[in-house]
Amino acid sequence: MIGGKLSKGRIPIRIHSDGRWFYNDSPIERNAMVRLFAKQLMTIDNDYYIQAPEQTLKIEVDDLPFVIVEVERHDPGAAQQIIATTNCGDEFVIGDGHRINLSLPPGQMTEVPKVHVRDGLYARASRSCYYQLVEWGVPNEIQGILLLQSSGIKYTLGRL
């Protein structure tokens, strides 16, 4: 610790866009280890760090640090809630605090949804979850967009 602040360092961890974690270009196979690191994950000035006891360790993230691997729909209709689960075990209801926004993944030309997980950290929906959300969406032909409702809030999933 330097002057009461944690010093910054680096660790050769990379999170690939598919949500897999690597250390020195080797996959981290132990899910418990990935979940432990994920709980310590933070973002500072658009960079990603793992909070260690004496320092913050910068890591590389190809797109977003989490991937939504499961979605469930409860109470279809006006009271509909979408529950999402990430590859690191975070589970939440899409709504206040866990909003959907569109963003452009690296190397892509079309914006796709991302969901706020916690503390400025976001998840990208896996392909199968994205298609499930699209299936639950309702087209707004006037605006030319596909809308998804959860917890009383309507989100844009993209252009029609």
Q: What is the pLDDT of residues 34-79, one digit of tens each?
A: 999 999 999 999 999 999 888 999 999 999 999 999 999 998 888 8
What number of residues does the chain have?
Answer: 160
* pTM assigned to the model: 0.90
Burial of 131 (0-12, 13-18, 19+ CB in 10 A): exposed
Task: Provide the CA 36 distance to its chain's centre, in angstroms.
Answer: 16
**pLDDT tens readout for residues 104-124:** 999 999 888 999 999 999 999
Would you state the pLDDT for residue 4? 53
Domains and CATH numbers, the chain: 7-61 (3.10.540.10), 66-159 (2.30.270.10)
CB atoms under 10 Å from CB of 44, counted, come to 11
Q: What percent of the chain has pLDDT over 70?
A: 97
